Structure 1
Amino acid sequence: MTSNHNISHFSTAKKIVFALFTVSCFLLLPSASFAGFRASVVKVDITPSNSQYLLGYGPRKSESVYDKIYHRIVMMDDGITQFVLISSDLALVSPSEYDKVAARIQKELKINPVNIWWTFTHTHSAPEVGPPGLPSVFLGDRYQHDFDKVYTDMVEQKLIDGIAEARKKLAPAKLGTGWGFASANINRRARLADGRITLGMNPDGPVDRRIGLIRLEKEDGSLLTLIANYAMHGTVFAAITEISADGPGVVAEYVEEKLGVPMLYINGAAGNIAPLYSQLDAPNGKRVIPQFKVMLGDKIIKANKDILSMSSDVKLRSSAMTVETPRKAGMGWTNDMANYTRTTKEGVNLVKLPVRFLKINEDVAIWSAPLELFCEISNEIRDRSPFPYTMYFGYGNGWLGYLLTEKEYAQGGYETTVTPYSPRAGQDLTDAVMNYLQGEMKKP
């Protein structure tokens, strides 16, 4: 494991000089730096006007639009750190696509990439964006076509324009955090009589039904936006040829209609979690998808009502580290992903897995990775975390495959065929994140 935190060692005298210098620098900062906590939200339509290859299931082109897809963007500013969280109604993008966009944002808007989190709801009925990245290694036959560069350019530009708009709209705000619960999902690794694992439903399997909720209010106490974190594959629909935000998008739109403000749906550790009703058992997704408004949407609204403590005294601290873990034997790689692997002197191929952290005051710890993570891992980390509110934001800043527990890896199944990791990766990640939460993140 490597970290981007460099600890400098000063003598006592140097520490005193450094402290005095730091204080003097803060005193000389413009008063705007101490304007207090501010936030904003922007919703941008990215529905294509022409037919697109849809990502999820087999290759197919869209013929119509079932519901629109969006970037939803929240910006938070504590006077020192400007943090951007994006939820896009897309299945996923390659980390190289994230790197490209983050570099543009840094150049044009001067926001450090460590403060840019681009997450994806993982709907399986939205267009491809950018090069396929790692999926082309697993599913090469699926990518016998070029991605649409015009549509990708549009998605990128609308994201950058949306962030610029969010910055202009920053206004004094308050923040509160809470938990909710919804039974809208189910473990999808079905056990067959002969011991095989297949995609289906496993009511006895591990699941995460916790809703993590962040509420942002305007200065006058009216609602600005909600950030709802819930683990659920975007697979209510089967391989339809209609563009759709699927279950996550339908839930977000419903909450928005009820509350009158945008809501960011942030997927969780959904690697082994399906929607309760999905393409596997209900091919007629149009019949069952409205039920998620009640099963999940109403539960989010209830959790929002239960948040009673709001504060304008908000401090943000973002950070990042890289977890290195062995790559699966014989696993290939793509050229655009060269920054996410390395080979040791002993010839061992490693995956360089980027993990992001956001600490809000002293009670909220959020971590994110470009993974379809099995829920047992995020559940364990949340249970062991020293922070009362610990959340995992999945599909963050790209996609680097499924990451399973060692136990589930040994059981086999579809997910083992689309993971770049060895069986030990789950423990490597758990140990690294827990050490960071209990160590670096606990520092004032």
Structure 2
Amino acid sequence: MTLPSIRFNRNRRRLVVATAVCSLLAGTVRGGPLRAAAVTIDITPDQPKMLGGYGPRESTGVHDPIHHRVLVLNDGEHEWVLASSEFCVMSPELYETAAVRLATEQGVDRLGFWWTLTHTHSAPEIGPPGMAEVYLPDRYDHAVDETYTTEIVDALLAAIAEARAKVQPARIGWGWGESRANINRRARDVDGSVRLGMNPDGPVDRRIGLLRVESTSGDLIAHVANYAIHGTVLGGQSKVISGDAPGVVSAYVEAQTGAPMLFVNGAAGDVAPLYSVYPNPRAGHLSEFRFLLGDRILSAAAEIAVKHSEVHLDLEEIVVDLPGRSGLELTESLQVFGGRDSAGKESVRLPVRLLRFGEDVAIWSAPLELFSEVALEVRARSSAEHTFYFGYTNGWLGYLLTDEELPLGGYEPRVSPFGPGAAPKLAHQVSQYLEGDSN
């Protein structure tokens, strides 16, 4: 695995894709004709599996099925493949395995392949564990199910091949929705301690970033919904397989529209669902998220106007060197992400993907559980009216907290390879890139 060197200028390695995109606002957009397709496939195992997200536990049944969902955009020269899968976390190594196979078997450029996970804590583990094993070794005293992991990658590549074979003339629009289905989870006590719970006064991002893809005749091809929410309605006592809130909401929207909906989690590092860690779906009000979030997605998506047929889409990858946690020790497969700064202190090389639709839309992604304040800062500083953050994308390197929260303790600092200064540096450098400022 190799990572590109970071350079904040307009001469980076780049994949430029001309596609047809429509904005809610008028703008100057130019590009080539878009072709698109989307598929949803069931990947629910028919045998018990070790579940990810909490302590080791084996599934005893299925509450709702889990899926791969894939959207392919193609302008006749380049492609953007967005895959959303209902699992908790995956190692960057697993992403690279899939990316290499996709490039070899189907000719899809790695830069054009984004694989994001919804972060449900009630789906099977997929290995290898990567960063999770560094900080949570007690959860991995059993063998990784390599057979199921291979089956999952095989199924993903098959879904991508199916979508690529079905592309048709299309157009795309974007917009915002809002839902109060989430809440800050960094609970405070009078002694100053912080633990997982609910913090009604804490920061939280309640906006829903939306993409709507249609055929040129107006038939819906797919929705993409970007919202920050932990997949933890079901807690560690639950042993049923489930897509949790993201999966239930996706299935509901699909049933209402007849087209795939890719749920892409946002900056959910300090954000929980309104009902969290319950022992079963009924106790956790799981079905109510269809109303709390699903109906909000449907109503907002219905307002998206699809008028423009062309836009310039710009996709890039950069690596940001961030301060690392003191004493950071990475496993062999993660060594590529470690390093030292000029003072000899630990650093983490964080890969970031960035995507622009003309002047109106900017999307950035990282293999992180990012605290919401960081994504909110980037959005506030961006000149693009629609700036979305895609979390849990192309792997998982743990939590990235703000400098204010890092010294307060709690669960998240224990599962983070990053040190003080990482959050402001990431926000600053991503914002610089989005504004085209190399200084």
TM-score, normalised via structure 2 length: 0.91
SS of the aligned residue for 2:158 comes to: helix
Q: Using the TM superposition, give the Cα deviation of residue 7 of structure 1 relative to its aligned residue in structure 2, in angstroms.
A: 6.5
Q: 1:97 — aligned with what?
A: 94
Summarize the Cα distance change of 1:356–1:440 in structure 2 as closer, same or farther, 3 Å threshold. farther
- The residue correspondences of 1:298-317 to structure 2 (distance < 5 A) are 298-317=295-314
- The residue correspondences of 1:227-376 to structure 2 (distance < 5 A) are 227-239=224-236, 240-279=238-277, 282-287=278-283, 288-344=285-341, 347-376=344-373
Q: Using the TM superposition, give the Cα deviation of residue 222 of structure 1 relative to its aligned residue in structure 2, in angstroms.
A: 1.6
Q: Which amino acid aligns with 2:260?
A: P
Could you say which structure has the greater relative contact order, defined with CA pairs below 8 angstroms and 6 or more residues apart?
A: 2
Q: Which segment drifts farther, 116-125 or 308-317?
A: 308-317
- The residue correspondences of 1:31-46 to structure 2 (distance < 5 A) are 36-46=33-43
CA distance in 2: counterparts of 1:169 and 1:210, whole angstroms:
32
Q: Which amino acid aligns with 2:310?
A: D
1:401–1:420 CA contact under 8 A, matched in 2: yes
Q: Which amino acid aligns with 2:429?
A: A
- State the number of aligned residues: 415
Q: Using the TM superposition, give the Cα deviation of residue 2 of structure 1 relative to its aligned residue in structure 2, in angstroms.
A: 4.3
Q: 1:179 — aligned with what?
A: 176
1:230–1:268 CA contact under 8 A, matched in 2: yes
Q: Which amino acid aligns with 2:279?
A: P
Out of 392, 399, 419, the residue aligned to residue 395 of structure 1 is 392
1:231–1:273 CA contact under 8 A, matched in 2: yes
TM-score, normalised via structure 1 length: 0.90
1:81–1:317 CA contact under 8 A, matched in 2: no
SS of the aligned residue for 2:302 comes to: helix
SS of the aligned residue for 1:351 comes to: strand
Larger radius of gyration: 1
Q: Using the TM superposition, give the Cα deviation of residue 223 of structure 1 relative to its aligned residue in structure 2, in angstroms.
A: 1.1
Q: Deviations over 1:334-385 (max 9, x none)?
A: 1111221123575432211000011123211100000000000101111110
- The residue correspondences of 1:67-82 to structure 2 (distance < 5 A) are 67-82=64-79
1:278–1:285 CA contact under 8 A, matched in 2: no
- The residue correspondences of 1:404-423 to structure 2 (distance < 5 A) are 404-423=401-420
Q: 2:15 — aligned with what?
A: none
CA distance in 2: counterparts of 1:193 and 1:285, whole angstroms:
32
Summarize the Cα distance change of 1:230–1:345 in structure 2 as closer, same or farther, 3 Å threshold. closer
- The residue correspondences of 1:138-177 to structure 2 (distance < 5 A) are 138-177=135-174
Out of 32, 38, 57, the residue aligned to residue 60 of structure 1 is 57
CA distance in 2: counterparts of 1:48 and 1:315, whole angstroms:
40
Summarize the Cα distance change of 1:377–1:35 in structure 2 as closer, same or farther, 3 Å threshold. closer
Q: Deviations over 1:20-46 (max 9, x none)?
A: xxxxxxxxxxxxxx9711111011211
SS of the aligned residue for 1:397 comes to: coil
SS of the aligned residue for 1:407 comes to: coil
* C-alpha RMSD of matched pairs (Å): 1.8
CA distance in 1: counterparts of 2:437 and 2:66, whole angstroms:
37
Summarize the Cα distance change of 1:8–1:430 in structure 2 as closer, same or farther, 3 Å threshold. closer
2:321–2:349 CA contact under 8 A, matched in 1: yes
Q: Which runs of 4+ in 1 moved over 4 A?
A: 4-9
CA distance in 1: counterparts of 2:149 and 2:206, whole angstroms:
34
CA distance in 1: counterparts of 2:135 and 2:76, whole angstroms:
44
1:37–1:314 CA contact under 8 A, matched in 2: no
Summarize the Cα distance change of 1:395–1:7 in structure 2 as closer, same or farther, 3 Å threshold. closer
Q: Deviations over 1:381-410 (max 9, x none)?
A: 111101111000000101001001100112
CA distance in 2: counterparts of 1:115 and 1:346, whole angstroms:
35
Summarize the Cα distance change of 1:188–1:35 in structure 2 as closer, same or farther, 3 Å threshold. closer
Q: Which amino acid aligns with 1:186?
A: I
CA distance in 2: counterparts of 1:353 and 1:261, whole angstroms:
34
SS of the aligned residue for 2:198 comes to: strand
Q: Which amino acid aligns with 1:283?
A: P
Q: Using the TM superposition, give the Cα deviation of residue 198 of structure 1 relative to its aligned residue in structure 2, in angstroms.
A: 0.8
Q: Deviations over 1:43-97 (max 9, x none)?
A: 1211112111110110011111111101000000123320000100000100111
CA distance in 1: counterparts of 2:89 and 2:379, whole angstroms:
24
Q: Does 1:125 align with 2:122?
A: yes
Q: Which amino acid aligns with 2:247?
A: G
CA distance in 2: counterparts of 1:223 and 1:310, whole angstroms:
14
Q: Which amino acid aligns with 2:274?
A: L
Percent identity, aligned pairs only, is 48
Q: Which amino acid aligns with 2:134?
A: V
Q: Using the TM superposition, give the Cα deviation of residue 174 of structure 1 relative to its aligned residue in structure 2, in angstroms.
A: 0.8
SS of the aligned residue for 2:335 comes to: helix
1:229–1:393 CA contact under 8 A, matched in 2: yes
Q: Which amino acid aligns with 1:242?
A: V
1:78–1:314 CA contact under 8 A, matched in 2: no
2:32–2:310 CA contact under 8 A, matched in 1: no
Q: Deviations over 1:214-235 (max 9, x none)?
A: 0000111121110000000000
Summarize the Cα distance change of 1:156–1:383 in structure 2 as closer, same or farther, 3 Å threshold. same
Which structure carries more helix by proportion? Answer: 1
1:4–1:320 CA contact under 8 A, matched in 2: no
1:237–1:286 CA contact under 8 A, matched in 2: no
SS of the aligned residue for 1:156 comes to: helix
CA distance in 1: counterparts of 2:148 and 2:221, whole angstroms:
30
Q: Using the TM superposition, give the Cα deviation of residue 309 of structure 1 relative to its aligned residue in structure 2, in angstroms.
A: 3.6
SS of the aligned residue for 1:286 comes to: coil
Q: 1:17 — aligned with what?
A: none
Summarize the Cα distance change of 1:38–1:435 in structure 2 as closer, same or farther, 3 Å threshold. same
Q: 2:20 — aligned with what?
A: none
